[in-house]
Amino acid sequence: MICMSTDVEMMVSHSADKQLQDIEKKYPGFIHMKSQVGIRLSYKLQEIVQGEGIVRGYRIREGEVPTALNGFLYSILRSTKQQRRAIASSILKQFDEQVKTSLSQMLYLADNLAYFPFQVQDEPLFIIHHIDIMISVSGTNLLQAFREALLPTNKSQEGQQGIPLSIPMEKPEAKGHPNLNVPVGMFEPGTNSYANNVESNANEAACNSSTTRTGNVARPYDEEEDEDEDLDVLLARLPGDCSVLQECITASQGCMLLLVLKQHLKDLYGITDAKIAQYSPSESAKVYEKTVNRRNTSCFDPKATLQKLREGSPSGVWDEAARRSLVQQYLEFKQLMLKFDPSDADEEDVVAEGGASSKTAKSSAQTADSSANPGDDESGCPTGDGKSNMDQSAADASAVDARIGLPLSEVKSQQQEGGECEKVMI
């Protein structure tokens, strides 16, 4: 019935719509259980009906705005927030790279999402919210999978042959302190115990020896490898069979399609970036149950996806032109992911007591590595003229000696009583 409701014959589709409506009234929840199977069958039907052209998931009738082929199905299942979110989530899951949905079917599903009969703000906002999450996760995974399928660099080959990529760190010797008979590391600046020193060195060594895997061969991950990527370098690292790399690029088209869908929903319903940043799916109040007004100026037209479908599937012959095109698509997708940031909100100012304040700004239009790291105040305590003795005493009481972990007030008292500062382990 779900499949028949998308038929081009109005008599057939209207009859199927009526049957679906009656079934939902008698057996609530039954249609939702079969919705994904029905949508897949509707895609296969449209492949037959629409012929050899590109399969689209919406219809345009004379004098009417575009409507989703599965729009009536959504209108039946949108009676509750739980059901409408469930069907939207199940459709978005088909864009996951693990599902390996064809690009043609992803376009069909995106067309339906673009023209579903949304009525309240929560519906398009929920989809946009999950698009941001999916692109952030799937896009990163695809870039990593592409890199792992490349031939290793010279540095990686040296690491596989046992040549160290970095100078190993020597553990500090546990020499006894002349006065207190405790390890020297106890009193090194910025540490509280020798055990912390050993743990810190172990963690740093573990980071230096981090590896990525290509097939069954482990190769060290080089941070500079990602920064030095350009067209010629990547071409030299392409394997003879680029089918795995092509799968990554094909899956990346789904991310690009979702980005176009997100922009379409923003234009169609007048959704701002501020509204997207403030949205929370777990919001219990009915702040997002306001009616949305649909604009007729926006048309869902993913030109890049349509062009890709017109070109057809790759021939499988990896000549110089095909290999260069593959790398170029990877670099374009990489730049797109660097500019993408699902969080439009700026980070809060980090103000340390007595220290300098700093701010790290993030924007979806900026690259991921352009963020500034917050600065640290080297003094660690407030400075300035005209401070009273009471303010200075309060600052000393709250301050901590970084070398031994004791308040400065106690250290000063020990200096006054003993004549010199003695480090005591408590």
> Which string of DSSP letters, residue by residue, matches 6-35?
G-SSHHHHHHHHHHHHHHHHHSTTHHHHTH
Of residues 75 and 358, more confidently modeled:
75
Indicate the pLDDT class of residue 197, thresholds 50, 70 and 90.
very low
Determine the pLDDT at residue 174. 44
Determine the pLDDT at residue 228. 57
Lookup: tokens for 100? 């390996």
Residue 366 and residue 341 in contact, taking contact as beta carbons nearer than 8 Å: yes
For the chain, percent of residues with pLDDT exceeding 70: 62
Of residues 156 and 72, more confidently modeled:
72
Give yes or no for residue 288 having a pLDDT over 60: yes
pLDDT per position as a tens digit, 321-338: 888 888 998 998 888 888
Residue 71 and residue 16 in contact, taking contact as beta carbons nearer than 8 Å: no
Cα separation, 358 vs 350, in Å, equals 6
Determine the pLDDT at residue 317. 76
Determine the pLDDT at residue 411. 43
Neighbours of 212 (CB within 10 A): 16
Determine the pLDDT at residue 155. 53
Determine the pLDDT at residue 187. 40
Indicate the pLDDT class of residue 341, thresholds 50, 70 and 90.
low
Q: What does the pLDDT average to over 34-40?
A: 94
- Nearest one of 269, 266, 276, 270 to 341, comparing CA atoms: 276
pLDDT per position as a tens digit, 371-421: 333 333 333 333 344 444 444 444 444 444 444 444 545 444 444 444 444
Integer angstrom CA distances of residue 315 from 59, 206, 252, 311: 32, 43, 19, 10
Q: Which residues, in sequence order, are CB contacts of 407 under 8 Å at separation 6+?
A: 396, 397, 398, 399, 400, 401
Integer angstrom CA distances of residue 217 from 154, 239, 352: 15, 15, 46
Cα separation, 146 vs 169, in Å, equals 32
Burial of 150 (0-12, 13-18, 19+ CB in 10 A): buried
Integer-rounded Cα radius of gyration of the chain: 30
Of residues 294 and 177, more confidently modeled:
294
Neighbours of 380 (CB within 10 A): 13
Of residues 7 and 178, more confidently modeled:
7
Place of tokens 């095909």: 322
Instruction: Report the range of poorest mean pLDDT among 105-109, 136-140, 150-154, 371-375.
Output: 371-375
pLDDT per position as a tens digit, 213-255: 344 343 444 444 555 578 888 988 988 888 888 888 888 899 9
Residue 38 and residue 46 in contact, taking contact as beta carbons nearer than 8 Å: no
Determine the pLDDT at residue 4. 94
Give yes or no for residue 147 having a pLDDT over 50: yes
**pTM for this one?**
0.64
Give yes or no for residue 68 having a pLDDT over 90: yes
Q: What does the pLDDT average to over 276-286?
A: 85
Give yes or no for residue 257 having a pLDDT over 80: yes
Determine the pLDDT at residue 31. 92
Give yes or no for residue 45 having a pLDDT over 80: yes
DSSP state of 114: H
Determine the pLDDT at residue 226. 55
Residue 262 and residue 128 in contact, taking contact as beta carbons nearer than 8 Å: yes
Q: What does the pLDDT average to over 66-93?
A: 92
Give yes or no for residue 199 having a pLDDT over 60: no
Give yes or no for residue 73 having a pLDDT over 70: yes
DSSP string, 372-418: PPPP--SS-S---SS--HHHHHHHHHH-B-TTT--BHHHHHHHHHHH
- Mean pLDDT score across all residues of the chain: 72
Q: What does the pLDDT average to over 165-175?
A: 45
Determine the pLDDT at residue 298. 72
Indicate the pLDDT class of residue 285, thresholds 50, 70 and 90.
low
Give yes or no for residue 149 having a pLDDT over 70: yes
